[in-house]
Amino acid sequence: MAGTQYRGSEIKDVDQFLKDSAGLDSDREKEIGQHIGYRYDVNLVPDYERLTPFLANYMEVMGWDDLNWLEDVHMGYEEGAPAVFDRNINGWVRVPDSIDLPDNQQDRDMIARELLIKFQMSDRHPLVNLRKAYMKF
Amino acid sequence: MAGVSDAQLREMTQEERAQALGMTTEQLTGRSMFIEFESDAEERFTYPWAHDVDYNKRTELDTDDLTTTEVNEKLRALMAEGYGSIVLKNPRGKHGIAVGILNRLNLIIEGSLGYFGVGLIDGPNVRINGRVGWSCGENMMSGTVLVEKNAGSTFGAAIRGGDLVCRGSVGSRTGIDQKGGTIIVGGDTGALSGFMMQRGRMIVCGNAGKNLGDSMYDGTIYVGGEIRSFGVDAVPAELTELDKAWLTRKLTQYDLLPEKGVDHFTKIVAGKQLWNYDNLEPTEKKLIL
């Protein structure tokens, strides 16, 4: 993985946060009672060999040669469940149980990206109502 | 919620609108919201409120006699009419041009911009055939911005996503407080670039000034030239094969790949010695007990 030089913790296993939802790996984390840092490697760059058809279509519609902002989107874990962080609501979106998790982070990241796009573009996304209520222009 | 029309919403105060739409003002920190949506729904790639634009529908906008506000309003009106490719002429260094565009759009700017150009954008592809002033692409969310000449200081400040590219050199504090996305500089970058960077990637094909990556929390900086000095807690890291493949692809995309490739690039990450969580709190609590 790129850039994994975590002082407090290091992600060694793709299922680390599924097996241990608290993720208290180091002595320092145990002392303060919380996991330090992200529940994924923020510096992992995407492997374009693993792009899904949905994401390829998204890139084409937007006129981009790559995943653009989705390069920063990864599958993480919230309370032991796979989830993707949505910056537009500052919260986690849980991955449905019906989706089988692949055995590697790159494929999991592609699933997370696809799910996030579907949620953000949905009429059910909280931003739709927030925009109606608070839009200034 | 469904029974309230847009016309009725317009008649309400902001608080009434929020209540009518089922929102609450109470503190939701630490709580979960259960929102169901169809993860297998029909493919949709733009926000529900975005204008449906056609990249093949093209027009020009002469901004010579327009104020910044007028330019930005006209851009929105053109998108509402379905124009997906807009050529903006004679910007003459105006500040705050093309900010807050949350739409698909091909925008070509024939000239130079002043401060805060193309900030807060989410989606468009912008090409600027000139220079830009301070804080170009500030708080950019997604899309691409290509500046053909040089850029001022705080290029890509607080950028959260997308590609922000300058073919020339940029000033100091490039990518200050960067929270995501990719910043690419074809030439040199000034002092304190990557200051307080939190995540995302920065590529500098030329040299970097003093205190590169000072106090960076996370993220990655790649530098092809010389680094005058590292900032506090910025440390070199191993350039992996995945890094090299990504760098090659990204630089090729913007025609900035050096002739000698990317093997000579230095990769810089956070040493994480400055990570300062609330680790004194348990001790203090014990003392009080």
Model ipTM value: 0.88
Q: How much is the pLDDT for B286? A: 44
| A87 with B160: Cβ contact below 8 A | yes
In this predicted structure, the answer to whether residue B94 has a pLDDT above a threshold of 70 is yes
| Residues B116, B138 contacting (CB under 8 angstroms) | yes
Q: How much is the pLDDT for B5? A: 84
| A33 vs B contacts (CB less than 8 Å) | 282
DSSP A27: H
Mean local confidence (pLDDT), B263-281 = 78
Q: How much is the pLDDT for B261? A: 96
CB atoms within 10 A of CB A72: 27
- Nearest-Cα distance to chain B for A6, in Å, is 7
Q: Looking at chain B, which residue has its C-alpha nearest residue A29? A: B279
Helices (H) and strands (E) in chain A, counts: 5, 3
> Is residue A9 one of the residues assigned to a domain?
no
Q: How much is the pLDDT for B30? A: 59
Q: To the nearest whole number, what is the mean pLDDT of chain A?
A: 86
In this predicted structure, the answer to whether residue B18 has a pLDDT above a threshold of 50 is yes
> Is residue A57 one of the residues assigned to a domain?
yes
Helical H segments across chain B, by residue range: 6-11, 14-20, 68-80, 241-253, 281-288
| A47 with B242: Cβ contact below 8 A | yes
| B243 with A96: Cβ contact below 8 A | no
Mean local confidence (pLDDT), A11-26 = 84
| A71 vs B contacts (CB less than 8 Å) | 182, 201
Q: Which of B12, B25, B17, B14 is nearest to B1 (CA)?
A: B17
In this predicted structure, the answer to whether residue B271 has a pLDDT above a threshold of 90 is no
Q: How much is the pLDDT for B173? A: 97
- Pick the residue of A69, A97, A127 with the most B CBs within 10 A to test the interface with B by mutation: A69
Confidence band for A2, pLDDT divided at 50, 70 and 90: very low
- Nearest-Cα distance to chain B for A38, in Å, is 10
> Is residue A22 one of the residues assigned to a domain?
no
Q: How much is the pLDDT for A6? A: 44
Ordered by start, the domain boundaries in chain B are 59-273
- Nearest-Cα distance to chain A for B104, in Å, is 6
Q: How much is the pLDDT for B101? A: 96
- Pick the residue of B17, B35, B58, B101 with the most A CBs within 10 A to test the interface with A by mutation: B35
Q: Rounded to an integer, what distance in angstroms lies between the CA atom of residue B78 and that of residue B53? A: 9
Confidence band for A37, pLDDT divided at 50, 70 and 90: confident
Alpha carbon B124 to chain centroid, angstroms: 11
Interval B51-71: pLDDT, tens = 999 999 999 999 999 999 999
| A129 with B23: Cβ contact below 8 A | yes
**Residue by residue, what is the 3-state secondary structure of A63-109?**
CCCCCHHHHHCCEEEECCEEEEEECCCCEEEECCCCCCCCCCHHHHH
Residue among B1, B33, B272 minimizing CB distance to A7 = B272
Tell me how far CA of residue B247 lies from CA of A46, B193, B241, in angstroms. Answer: 11, 19, 10
Lowest mean pLDDT among B5-14, B23-32, B184-193: B23-32
| B200 vs A contacts (CB less than 8 Å) | 72
CB atoms within 10 A of CB B15: 11
- B177 vs B36, higher pLDDT: B177
| B282 with A87: Cβ contact below 8 A | no
| B269 with A43: Cβ contact below 8 A | yes
User: How much of chain B, in percent, has pLDDT values that exceed 70?
Assistant: 88
A70: containing domain? 46-134
In this predicted structure, the answer to whether residue A84 has a pLDDT above a threshold of 90 is yes
Lowest mean pLDDT among A86-95, B7-16, B270-279: B270-279
Q: How much is the pLDDT for A5? A: 44
Query: Chain B within 8 Å of A121 (Cβ-Cβ)?
Result: yes
In this predicted structure, the answer to whether residue A7 has a pLDDT above a threshold of 60 is no
Residue among B33, B162, B220 minimizing CB distance to A43 = B220
| B199 vs A contacts (CB less than 8 Å) | 42-43, 72
Q: Domain B59-273: give its CATH code.
A: 2.160.20.60
| B266 vs A contacts (CB less than 8 Å) | none
> Is residue A25 one of the residues assigned to a domain?
no
Interval B95-132: pLDDT, tens = 999 999 999 999 999 999 999 999 999 999 999 999 99
> Is residue A106 one of the residues assigned to a domain?
yes
Q: How much is the pLDDT for A60? A: 96
| B47 with A54: Cβ contact below 8 A | no
In this predicted structure, the answer to whether residue A133 has a pLDDT above a threshold of 80 is yes
- Nearest-Cα distance to chain A for B29, in Å, is 10
Q: How much is the pLDDT for B31? A: 61
Q: How much is the pLDDT for B2? A: 54
Total number of domains constituting chain A: 1
Amino acid at A75: M
Residue among B162, B250, B273 minimizing CB distance to A7 = B273
Q: Rounded to an integer, what distance in angstroms lies between the CA atom of residue A82 and that of residue A109? A: 11
Mean local confidence (pLDDT), A71-94 = 90
> Is residue A4 one of the residues assigned to a domain?
no
Interval B204-238: pLDDT, tens = 999 999 999 999 999 999 999 999 999 999 999 99
- Nearest-Cα distance to chain B for A68, in Å, is 5
Q: Which of A83-92, B11-20, B50-59 has the highest mean pLDDT?
A: B50-59
